Every structure is written in structure tokens, then in C-alpha cells.
Amino acid sequence: MRLVEAIVDANHRALAGDEKAGLRLAEHADALPVVALTCSDARLNPLLPEVVGIPEEQFLWVRNAGNVVSHPLGSTARSVALACLLEGAREILVIGHTDCRVARQTISALLERLAALGIARESLPENLQECFALFGSEPQNVHTACEMLRNSPLISPRIPVHGLMVDLQTGRLDWLVNGYNTLPAVGEVALATLQTARQTVTDMREGMDYRVGSRAFSDLPVGQLVAEGADWLGARLNTIEELWQAMQETTRSETAVGLSAGPSTHKEVSEAASQSSRVIPVPPPLTFSKSRKPEP
């Protein structure tokens, strides 16, 4: 079981009364720390990170009103990206919550509050919906935030972006977006690396045509070294490509006998991802009557 699968499983078992339910951190060391984007609602303070079972030092917490990501290059995407780049977060969790006040807010109510604080309508932007990033559905807002982060060029496609909802009353976690489903296939990553290396060899060889004063670059000692390096790298890439093709042949024959049918091309991965995001159900409003026990 991967990290977030284990988190949700432990959470559900704990709510069902299993006193031994919990996350075995040692089994998930390579998926920690995580960065979580949540609402700034203070009612989350006693819940997180406890309900996900991750210790505070492994839980990098980014907060804003409504856990909104407005743009793939906006300040929230930047904070999440820097948590990955500078603090080593391995997985991203967007955790929405039930009864979010940002979702309950209307423009007219907001204008009344602003007026009561002496803020005139004329001094505000035209589109208040966009300005305050108001939304109508907490689950849909989590889906949008995950999509924005997934499409952010600042965040590696190898980092899973998950969407969860937490119930403020019970602490129950529910999946909205399974980020493991949208990770690129291992083969796709390997192929991209191979193509980059091949381009490097091409660039090195093209550099041979330069002239330094009256002498060709390839006639200079450094030029000869570069040529040897390009030959060495090119030969190894040929070997890797041969191995790669042999692996592809094996996979194809296994697929033919029904052993493997996973997506292999970028298009197939994208289609599988979009299908998976389409079929992940948005849960109805949670109606647990059992109150969460306060911690001692």
C-alpha cells in the first residue's frame, strides 16, 4: 500500500474502532515528507496533521482561505513547489474540508461585510468572485486545485498530487483525486531521459563545425576530446536503446497474452489519467453524527 492509500485505510479503520490502526512510518520513509495545502480555517488546527497520521516535522503545511490554487504559476503553486524543491516534499496533498466558509460566501454578504468595515465598493475590483476566489463546492474546488498543481510547470510530474476531503466533525478522510493514477509510466520517464541524452550527443557533434580563428574546433585537442566523448556517449546510448527495444518486445508479447496492459505512450497515459479523474466520484456531503473525541 502506498502512503496516501495507507493514510486513508488507517483513518477509516480508526473511525471504525480499530485501536491498532495507524500509519507505519518506516514503510513510507521514501514518500515523506509531504506538503499539504489546506484552508486557513482554525477548525482544522486540532485535526491536522493528526488525522493523516504524519508527524508535524514531516508535514509541510501551506494554507490559504479555501485551499485555492488560482493559477499554475501563482503564489500557492509557488509555495507548494518550493516545499518540494527546498524542503524535499515527495508527495502533495490538497486537503479540502466540509463546511468551508469560502464555499458558503455570497458576493452580497461579502459586500455587506466590506461596507461594515468602511470599504467602499468603488475601491474594489470589478470581479469579486475571482478576486476572493469564491467557489460553490468544496470537492470540486479540491479537484480544481489538484489540476492546477498537476499542470504547474514548477512541479515535477513524478510528484503525485492527491486530493482529499476531511470531515470537520469526525476527522474522516475521503479520496477525491488519487495522484498515483496520474504519474507518468516508468517507461515514459526513461524514454524522455534517453531522448535528452541523445540530443546532448547531437549538440556535441554539431559543435565540431565551429572554427576558432583559422582552425576548426575538431582539430584542436579539446575538440578531439569532445569528439571522443560524443562517440563514447553515443555508443552507450545505442546499447541502452537496444536493451530498451528488447524490453518493449517482451512487454508487447506479455500484453498479447494478457499479462500486462498498462498505458505506455504519453497519449495513453494522459487518456488513462483523464479517465481515472473522471471516474473518481465526488462524495456527497458527509453526514456522520458521531462527534470526534477531543484529544486529552
Closer CB to Zn ion, residue 21 or residue 168? 168
**29 exposed, middle or buried (CB, 10 Å; 0-12, 13-18, 19+)?**
exposed
What does residue 61 show for φ and ψ, rounded to 5 degrees?
A: -110, 115
Do 155 and 149 meet the contact criterion of CB atoms below 8 Å apart?
A: yes
How near is the Cβ of 15 to Zn ion at its closest, in Å? 21
Among the listed ranges 40-48, 75-83, 199-207, 211-219, the one in contact with Zn ion (CB under 5 A) is 40-48
Closer CB to Zn ion, residue 133 or residue 269? 133
Among the listed ranges 36-44, 83-91, 177-185, 276-284, the one in contact with Zn ion (CB under 5 A) is 36-44
When asked if residue 39 is in the footprint of Zn ion (CB under 5 A), the reply is yes
**CA 226 – CA 235 distance, rounded (Å):** 14
**CA 201 – CA 218 distance, rounded (Å):** 15
- Please name which of 95, 100, 94, 102 lies closest in space to residue 134, comparing C-alpha atoms: 102
When asked if residue 41 is in the footprint of Zn ion (CB under 5 A), the reply is yes
How near is the Cβ of 81 to Zn ion at its closest, in Å? 22
Closer CB to Zn ion, residue 40 or residue 193? 40
How near is the Cβ of 75 to Zn ion at its closest, in Å? 18
Strand pairing category for 215-216 and 211-212: antiparallel
**CA 285 – CA 170 distance, rounded (Å):** 13
Among the listed ranges 28-36, 37-45, 80-88, 275-283, the one in contact with Zn ion (CB under 5 A) is 37-45
**CA 269 – CA 262 distance, rounded (Å):** 9
How near is the Cβ of 167 to Zn ion at its closest, in Å? 13
How near is the Cβ of 82 to Zn ion at its closest, in Å? 23
Closer CB to Zn ion, residue 110 or residue 226? 110
**CA 106 – CA 117 distance, rounded (Å):** 17
Ranges within 61-120 binding Zn ion (CB under 5 A): 100
Closer CB to Zn ion, residue 41 or residue 91? 41
Among the listed ranges 31-39, 111-119, 196-204, 248-256, the one in contact with Zn ion (CB under 5 A) is 31-39
- Please name which of 237, 93, 39 lies closest in space to residue 229, comparing C-alpha atoms: 237
Query: Contact positions toward Zn ion, by CB under 5 A?
Result: 39, 41, 100
